[in-house]
Amino acid sequence: MNDINFRILSSSLLALIGWAGAARGADIAVTGNWWQTVNQADLISGAGSDIRTPIESSTVQTTLDISNTLGGSWTVVARQSDISWPAGVSLAVKRTTDGSGDGTISGGTTYVTLTPNDQILLSGSGDRAGIQLQLETNGLSVSHGLGNYTLNIIYTLQ
Amino acid sequence: MNTPFPKSRLLMNTLAASVALVLTSATVWAGSTATQTVTYEVTAINEISVSGSPAALTVNTATAGSAPTDATDASTTWAVTTNQNGAKITAAIDTAMPTDTTLKVNLAAPTGATSLGAVTLGTTAVDAVTGISQLNESSKTVTYTLSALPTAGVIASASKTVTFTITGGV
């Protein structure tokens, strides 16, 4: 291998290492858990009717902050991890604000129904702070009985 | 005497180290996660309603040799929603019926529950339907029956308030 090829390859590798190093510092933070109480006021039309669906959170229920991206592109995926969640009830997430920052943001403005597998929620580049999310449940019924039902949403920056 | 380190060997080592670094960095990137907890609390829901009041019940005929003919009304319905198990419906009237008259009510049972049939109403609540579990149903028929013995005589028109209560679920 001649010197020119060696230098080109070495430079490329250093650039790749540099890119990877920049990505390594990117971080995602989430604030704002959602606790929703469901009672007789949530019946569609009183006695004889079922619980209304969907049940939505506040439009600013949850805030995502993405930082330390060094201007790089990113995608946020999300999945659910059941703790105690009834069958037939789904949870969906959507973005309600762009947040702020030097970067860009796109996608996620319509509800994405979560599953145990990562679903693409939104994407962008650079740092963005204060991206607000709204949540909704679908399919809750009186047949599920009373109690507390919990799941975790895991947001991953890719 | 040291052997010169070939450039190709140096390149291979550099490449291996670089790939390792890239893989390590990519792993850290993919591990950047944040977790949010969603909880909803469903409290006990027990709701019952009726569609309205029945028409006036009038006992005014009889077959000769028999007691006066009962008056019945099945023009109203009831609805129920519960997210508990084993709930029941009780019924009671606000004041006692005149001597030798009887007012009964029969609630059609929702799915999986048991109607106790035509139960006699008094000021003490009686069970009308039992075993109601986690359902919402409507348009279930309510049947009222007014009976009067000949000894009741002629009685002026009066109204009773019937109270249905859903209770007892767990």
Measure B139 CA to nearest chain A CA, in Å: 8
Let me know if residue A8 belongs to a domain: no
Give the residue with greater pLDDT, A24 vs A79. A79
Residue length, chain A?
A: 158
Let me know if residue B129 belongs to a domain: yes
Let me know if residue A133 belongs to a domain: yes
Of A5-14, A95-104, A136-145, B28-37, the poorest mean pLDDT is in: A5-14
Let me know if residue A1 belongs to a domain: no
In this prediction the pTM is 0.79
Measure A74 CA to nearest chain B CA, in Å: 10
Total tally of structural domains belonging to chain A: 1
Let me know if residue B141 belongs to a domain: yes
Of A3-7, A15-19, A80-84, B62-66, the poorest mean pLDDT is in: A15-19
Residue to substitute from A142, A143, A150, A152, interface B, most B β-carbons within 10 A: A142
Let me know if residue B159 belongs to a domain: yes
CATH number at residue A141: 2.60.40
Let me know if residue A104 belongs to a domain: yes
Which among B15, B44, B47 has CB closest to A43? B47
- 8 Å CB contact of B38 and A26: no
Let me know if residue B20 belongs to a domain: no
Q: Which of residues 124-153 of A touch B (CB under 8 A)?
A: 135, 137, 140, 142-153
Residue length, chain B?
A: 170
Let me know if residue B11 belongs to a domain: no
* CA A29 from centre of chain: 10
- 8 Å CB contact of A148 and B39: yes
Cα B140 to Cα B100: distance, rounded to the nearest angstrom: 29
Q: How many CB pairs under 8 A join A and B?
A: 180
Measure A105 CA to nearest chain B CA, in Å: 18
Longest dimension (CA), chain A: 84
Radius of gyration of chain B (CA): 37
Query: Which residue range is the domain that position A123 belongs to?
Result: 26-157
Confidence of residue A19 (pLDDT cuts 50, 70, 90): very low
Which among A24, A32, A154 has CB closest to B28? A24
Query: Which residue range is the domain that position B118 belongs to?
Result: 46-50+69-167
Give the residue with greater pLDDT, A2 vs B67. B67
Let me know if residue B4 belongs to a domain: no
Residue to substitute from B9, B14, B15, B32, interface A, most A β-carbons within 10 A: B32
Total tally of structural domains belonging to chain B: 1
pLDDT at B168: 83
Share of chain A above pLDDT 70, in %: 85
Let me know if residue A79 belongs to a domain: yes
Of A121-125, A151-155, B7-11, B162-166, the poorest mean pLDDT is in: B7-11
Residue to substitute from B83, B85, B140, interface A, most A β-carbons within 10 A: B83
pLDDT per position in chain B (170 positions), as tens?
A: 344 434 444 444 443 433 333 333 332 333 499 999 999 999 999 999 999 999 999 999 999 999 999 999 999 999 999 999 999 999 999 999 999 999 999 999 999 999 999 999 999 999 999 999 999 999 999 999 999 999 999 999 999 999 999 998 89
Let me know if residue A52 belongs to a domain: yes
Measure A81 CA to nearest chain B CA, in Å: 9
Let me know if residue A57 belongs to a domain: yes
